[in-house]
Amino acid sequence: MLRTPTGGAGNGTASPADPLVSIGAVLHRLRDEFPEVTISKIRFLEAEGLVEPRRTPSGYRKFSPDDVERLAQVLRIQRDHYLPLKVIREHLDAVGRGEQVPLPSPQRELLDGTWEAPPAEPQTAVRIGRAELLAAAEVGESTLDEWEAYGLITPMPEGGYDAESVTVAKLVADLGKFGLEPRHLRVMKAAAEREAGLVEQVVAPLRRHRNPQTRAHAEATTKELASLSVRLHAALVRTALGVRRL
């Protein structure tokens, strides 16, 4: 097990007794406890300010033992407490300053980028009826039939619709006001399915892993990847259209 950190984020320096290691060596050290970690994940955590490795003159990252332990702490808190990275960074920085601060309550990220605390008790999936969906989207039966025919809205196997269908229905209705018909939106549906397929490729090995904690972490990883995918998709569309974000 990695040792307990003694300070905050790395400051780019290390004593001669603490040899610096490459990002590949960091990955090797972390993977015993975190099989799902990747070099891309480590780089992402660096970009988010969770760790500050030293850079060689040629630009290669070099990590100190404290950097490695801090990364382990970040991954551990993410896995066990589902906290956003900003909260994790603030907590570890406070601990590094010698402050005695408890971890905040567990949270989870929603697809719109906001965070909320998970329910205390497991909840069954929310299901709504056809009449409720029609009322929420303010459309008629024939319109909903057309959306279903194009695969934009899909009933649940046991009947009714999940809560996300309301969001989809409202967005499809709003796009229709600009003349975009269901047949035009098939490209968006196809893109979403391809993105979902990429997420499944990443998560599938976690679900099959022998470690129960890793399998349990698959759901949190799916949500994180979904959120990142949605944000990337939105940014790419804005970039393609030359639209500045307000």
* Residue 104: per-residue pLDDT: 66
Total structural domains in the chain?
3
Residue 18 lies in a domain: no
Residue 10 lies in a domain: no
Whether 174 and 212 share a structural domain: no
Whether 77 and 96 share a structural domain: yes
Q: How far apart are CA 240 and CA 16, in angstroms?
A: 49
Residue 171 lies in a domain: yes
Whether 220 and 157 share a structural domain: no
Whether 69 and 128 share a structural domain: no
Whether 137 and 206 share a structural domain: no
Q: Which amino acid is at 219?
A: E
* Residue 47: per-residue pLDDT: 87
Residue 94, domain extent:
23-106
Whether 92 and 151 share a structural domain: no
Within 8 A by CB and 6+ apart from 134, the residues are 140, 141, 144
Whether 136 and 169 share a structural domain: yes
Per-residue pLDDT of the chain (246 residues; tens, 9 = 90+): 444 333 444 444 444 456 899 999 999 999 888 887 888 889 888 888 899 999 998 889 999 999 999 999 998 888 777 677 888 888 888 888 888 878 765 554 444 444 444 444 444 456 788 888 888 888 899 999 999 999 999 998 888 898 889 889 999 999 999 999 999 998 998 988 999 888 888 888 877 777 776 777 777 788 888 888 888 888 888 899 887 665
Residue 210 lies in a domain: yes
Give yes or no for a contact between 151 and 189, defined as CB atoms under 8 angstroms apart.
yes
Whether 84 and 140 share a structural domain: no
Whether 88 and 140 share a structural domain: no
Q: How far apart are CA 132 and CA 144, in angstroms?
A: 12
Residue 101 lies in a domain: yes
Give yes or no for a contact between 76 and 45, defined as CB atoms under 8 angstroms apart.
no
Give yes or no for a contact between 156 and 191, defined as CB atoms under 8 angstroms apart.
no
Residue 197 lies in a domain: yes
- Of the candidates 196, 185, 204, the one whose C-alpha atom is nearest the C-alpha of residue 226 is 196
Query: What is the pTM for the complete model shown?
Result: 0.49
Whether 90 and 33 share a structural domain: yes
Listed residues 180, 196, 225: the one ending a domain: 180
**Which tokens go with 167?**
């969001």
* Residue 11: per-residue pLDDT: 43
Residue 198 lies in a domain: yes
The bridge status of strand 161-162 relative to strand 127-128 is: antiparallel
Whether 124 and 102 share a structural domain: no
Listed residues 57, 74, 106: the one ending a domain: 106
Whether 165 and 135 share a structural domain: yes
> To 5 degrees, how large is the angle CA 65–CA 70–CA 76?
130
What is the DSSP track for the chain? -PPPP-SSS--S---TTS--B-HHHHHHHHTTT-TT--HHHHHHHHHTTS---EE-TT--EEB-HHHHHHHHHHHHHHHHH---HHHHHHHHHHHHTT---PPPPP-EE-TTS-EEPPPSS--PPPEE-HHHHHHHHT--HHHHHHHHHTTSS---TTSSEEHHHHHHHHHHHHHHTTT--GGGGHHHHHHHHHHHHHHHHHHHHHHT-S-HHHHHHHHHHHHHHHHHHHHHHHHHHHHHHTPPP-
Residue 5 lies in a domain: no
- Say which CATH number the domain at 77 has: 1.10.1660.10
Listed residues 136, 161, 180: the one ending a domain: 180
* Residue 113: per-residue pLDDT: 47
